[in-house]
Structure 1
Amino acid sequence: MFKPLIFYIGLRYTRAERRTQFISFVTLASVLGIALSVVALITVLSVMNGFVEQISARMLSMTAHATITGRYGQLDNWQTLEQKLNGTAHVQGVAPFINGQVMINADRRVSGTVLTGVLPESEAKVSEVAEKMTSGKLSDLVAGQYGIVLGQELANYLGVMTGDKITVISPQVNSTPAGVVPRMRRFTVVGTFNVGMYEYDRNMAFVHIDDASKLFRMDGAVSAVRIKLDNLLDAPQITQELAEKFYGDYQVSDWTKAHDNFFQAIKMEKRVMSIILLMMVAVAAFNIVSTLIMVVTDKRGDIAILKTQGLTSGSVMGIFMVLGTVIGLVGTVLGVIGGVLLAWNIADIIKTVENTFGIKFLSAQVYYISDLPSKLIWTDVYVIASMAFLLSLLATIYPAWQASKVNPAEVLRYE
């Protein structure tokens, strides 16, 4: 079916003749349609990958790779557990913490907040909050001095800065002669942090673990210990091994469970977006059908002559499949080259457009991610190129089959 003569004739039909300029234009349009669809698909998926990577990095910078707590929601012997974990494979850092819900009052502003008690020297081993400080330092949290570090958005809402006093109100209560009153403690703002995630910057505050222990009456116990692993992608497997090692004594969880809904939603969004954009590729690929049908109509005389000279129906079908395959292949290759180059340079292109026209697509005052990130994953490129070429190949079958059914006697009767 695919002999050298078949390839020669199929490739020859890709070149324009004076009387077939319009058909050649339609062929070029089909090639460009496939190329632009592939470019769009590669670029959009790369930008989505870039956003997911940045959001995940910011989220995981404040989230422990793994967490271990006691059976009743707290750890009394966390020092012993810390020593055991420090000698465990894949564990790079361990830090205790105390978590609790509080109300923070500053003048007339009140906000609910997650208050976390930490050891500053240990916290730096498991999270990046110390690197995200916009004022002060995490090490300014000293036991007994009741200092507090606020998220930047929370500090802005309360209208406080470093050095200001705030009141922390615990849900626990004290019994006094005047009745039951909530536990309150004055804290001094010693710093603020900004990780670029509103959820954290608006709703989190840090104090020294000893101050949190007194506020929540933990009596030396902690809520849990955070663990940093050498590879966060292996967290489910490593936490399973830790759960088996400490079977029955502790509860072990990892970051995939804490943010499972978010990452599942991201995967679903990417899958749906890929399907929608792949439909664009399908529309462009099936433009090949109309192009080939026009070519078949134009070349009916040639087909009839070739058949009278002994060319089989299968060989005729092969000629037009070669023509359609060339169109699809050229379009796919051009699309991959264009998509890869655009994905690599999309951030610079957007900056150039913004500077030229004086506009800002992602304003820093509205969006935490003010640049357009892009991450090219070659697996996506391979899948996109394969699907585009496959759809182009499928689009050639019907027109090629129609060409093979041409009856030489009927065609030559009117020649």
Structure 2
Amino acid sequence: MFRPFSIYVGLRYTAAKRSNHFISFISLVSMLGLMLGVAALILVLSVMNGFDRELKDRILGMVPHATITGYENPIADWQQLAAVVEQDSRVIATAPFINAQGMLTYSGQVRGVMVQGVDPIAESKVSIVSQHMLNGEWSNLKSGEFGVVLGDLLARYLGARIGDKVTLVLPEASISVAGVTPRLKRFTVVGIFSVGAELDSSLAYIHIDDAARLKRIREGVEGVRVTFQDLFKAPVAAREITSTLDGYFLVSDWTRTHGNLFQAIQMEKKMIGLLLFLIVFVAAFNIVSTLVMVVTDKKSDIAILRTLGATPGMIMRIFMVQGIVIGFAGTLIGAALGVLLASTVTDLVAWIEQVLGMQFLSSDVYFISYLPSRLDWNDVGVIGGSALLISFFATLYPAWKASRTQPAEALRYE
């Protein structure tokens, strides 16, 4: 079978067992360094993509994309406002809410909590909480029954279970014959949810009618929650929609509450990717030192090939083939290893946590309690292509030096 001369000789040089074992060792180190750099880069970017996905799906699936609230007073005719907002093609759904901050107490335990009064049916259209119920049913939130759905971590802190009665303390004073006392109300735990995020430790849901009675809102709601098709367009879209409404309203969006977390993840992804890419650079440029030593070791061979009629271009291509083979092998093995690790790192870390009896990511510190991963084939393509391109450029100088070898000088002392 016909093969170009440069490729044939270059592959023979690459596959041949060199007499200089140090050069062989350096070649192996170059390939392993490139392999580890590519694998680490794919793995870390996949983990950062996983955090990004979890932020969008879990955190931003629980918090509002945007809220429209009354300027000074509750929104009395919120149904009409919601109907107008939902006419916009960018809006998926809306839901009314009444928020309150307070403390939940049970069996001597006290925990600060954000209480959201919601319509269970409408809320299930704009939030993922109904899909993550551990115990009880989301539909158990009924008007007038003063039921509460707690986050999993919050329920654990309090030691509360389904059917237990917890006391909500609001930071608002009530004046009675006994004097000034904080506003208290007992709620029955009817459900426990878990989204695997920090919200599990600080969020509780009650029916919106019960919240209105608790906050003494006689008519209407505090605001309307809006969920958009594209959450990244929510800030602009929410303000555009609000500007068309009659009356004065306050508008807020997720970038004010969780935007800094998302921006931090994006920044970390870029910086970590840049730092790890330096590993690929270092490993790829080890190919330069490898080929320089190979050229020095093969000077007599180069001279003989030149006297037999090989052109400088042929000699250059021979050593380029060697460098490209090292780079291709390291990149291919590294990409395969990186894809394998990125696909299994979540289960692998969970197994290690189980074996060691410890948790690496705690919801008390991080916004999720496990290590996520999402493999992006575009990242794999960019990393692999960049590594191959760097490897190619790393071969140019040593190959050019080989092509400049003078036969007479190389064979003078042979």
Is this a same-fold pair by TM over 0.5? yes
2: distance between equivalents of 1:224 and 1:339? 47
Counterpart residue number, 1:96: 96
Counterpart residue number, 1:126: 126
Task: Say if 2:328 is the partner of 1:332.
Answer: no
1: distance between equivalents of 2:230 and 2:220? 29
The answer on whether the counterparts of 2:58 and 2:128 sit within 8 Å (CA) in structure 1 is: no
Q: 1:349 to 1:158 in 2, by over 3 A?
A: closer
Counterpart residue number, 2:141: 141
AA at the equivalent of 1:394: F
Counterpart residue number, 2:202: 203
Q: Which one is further off, 248-257 or 40-49?
A: 248-257
1: distance between equivalents of 2:278 and 2:284? 10
1:39-78 maps to which residues of 2 (within 5 A)? 39-72=39-72, 74-78=74-78
The answer on whether the counterparts of 2:82 and 2:94 sit within 8 Å (CA) in structure 1 is: yes
Note the C-alpha offset of 1:226.
Answer: 1.3
Task: Say if 2:407 is the partner of 1:408.
Answer: yes
AA at the equivalent of 1:325: I
Q: Which one is further off, 115-124 or 318-327?
A: 318-327
List runs of 5+ in structure 2 lacking aligned partners. none
List runs of 5+ in structure 1 lacking aligned partners. none
SS in 1 for 2:110: strand
Q: Which one is further off, 362-371 or 382-391?
A: 362-371
Note the C-alpha offset of 1:98.
Answer: 0.6
SS in 1 for 2:355: coil
The answer on whether the counterparts of 1:46 and 1:374 sit within 8 Å (CA) in structure 2 is: yes
AA at the equivalent of 2:111: S
Q: Which one is further off, 374-383 or 46-55?
A: 46-55
The answer on whether the counterparts of 2:47 and 2:371 sit within 8 Å (CA) in structure 1 is: yes
Counterpart residue number, 1:266: 265
Q: 1:145 to 1:350 in 2, by over 3 A?
A: closer
The answer on whether the counterparts of 1:116 and 1:206 sit within 8 Å (CA) in structure 2 is: yes
Q: Which one is further off, 264-273 or 214-223?
A: 214-223
The answer on whether the counterparts of 1:362 and 1:371 sit within 8 Å (CA) in structure 2 is: no
2: distance between equivalents of 1:286 and 1:193? 52
Task: Say if 2:109 is the partner of 1:109.
Answer: yes
Q: 1:342 to 1:114 in 2, by over 3 A?
A: closer
1: distance between equivalents of 2:292 and 2:247? 71
1:5-404 maps to which residues of 2 (within 5 A)? 5-17=5-17, 19=19, 23-24=23-24, 26-72=26-72, 74-176=74-176, 178-197=178-197, 199-236=198-235, 238-246=237-245, 249-308=248-307, 313=312, 315-346=314-345, 359=355, 363=359, 373-404=372-403
SS in 2 for 1:170: strand
Note the C-alpha offset of 1:156.
Answer: 2.3
Q: Provide the aligned C-alpha RMSD in A.
A: 3.2
Q: 1:383 to 1:18 in 2, by over 3 A?
A: closer
SS in 1 for 2:221: coil
Q: Which one is further off, 337-346 or 152-161?
A: 337-346
AA at the equivalent of 2:62: M
AA at the equivalent of 1:97: F
Aligned length: 409
Q: 1:33 to 1:123 in 2, by over 3 A?
A: same
2: distance between equivalents of 1:324 and 1:281? 15
2: distance between equivalents of 1:191 and 1:141? 8
Identity of aligned residues (%): 49
The answer on whether the counterparts of 1:362 and 1:370 sit within 8 Å (CA) in structure 2 is: no
TM-score normalised by structure 1 residue count:
0.85
The answer on whether the counterparts of 2:118 and 2:207 sit within 8 Å (CA) in structure 1 is: yes
1: distance between equivalents of 2:357 and 2:51? 15
The answer on whether the counterparts of 1:213 and 1:222 sit within 8 Å (CA) in structure 2 is: yes
Note the C-alpha offset of 1:317.
Answer: 3.4
2: distance between equivalents of 1:212 and 1:59? 23
Note the C-alpha offset of 1:29.
Answer: 4.0
Note the C-alpha offset of 1:150.
Answer: 2.0
Q: 1:266 to 1:119 in 2, by over 3 A?
A: same
Q: 1:92 to 1:360 in 2, by over 3 A?
A: farther
Q: 1:316 to 1:74 in 2, by over 3 A?
A: farther
SS in 2 for 1:167: strand
TM-score normalised by structure 2 residue count:
0.86
AA at the equivalent of 1:255: W
1: distance between equivalents of 2:105 and 2:340? 52
Note the C-alpha offset of 1:73.
Answer: 7.5
1: distance between equivalents of 2:392 and 2:144? 73
Q: Which one is further off, 306-315 or 221-230?
A: 306-315
SS in 2 for 1:13: helix
The answer on whether the counterparts of 1:73 and 1:224 sit within 8 Å (CA) in structure 2 is: no
Q: 1:309 to 1:161 in 2, by over 3 A?
A: closer
Q: Which one is further off, 163-172 or 11-20?
A: 11-20
2: distance between equivalents of 1:361 and 1:215? 43
Note the C-alpha offset of 1:270.
Answer: 1.6
Q: 1:15 to 1:130 in 2, by over 3 A?
A: closer
1: distance between equivalents of 2:392 and 2:361? 48
2: distance between equivalents of 1:53 and 1:12? 47
2: distance between equivalents of 1:270 and 1:365? 18
2: distance between equivalents of 1:248 and 1:404? 79
Note the C-alpha offset of 1:345.
Answer: 4.4
Q: 1:322 to 1:236 in 2, by over 3 A?
A: farther
Q: Which one is further off, 35-44 or 176-185?
A: 176-185
1: distance between equivalents of 2:165 and 2:43? 49
AA at the equivalent of 1:111: R
2: distance between equivalents of 1:7 and 1:250? 72
1: distance between equivalents of 2:358 and 2:277? 27
Q: 1:317 to 1:72 in 2, by over 3 A?
A: farther
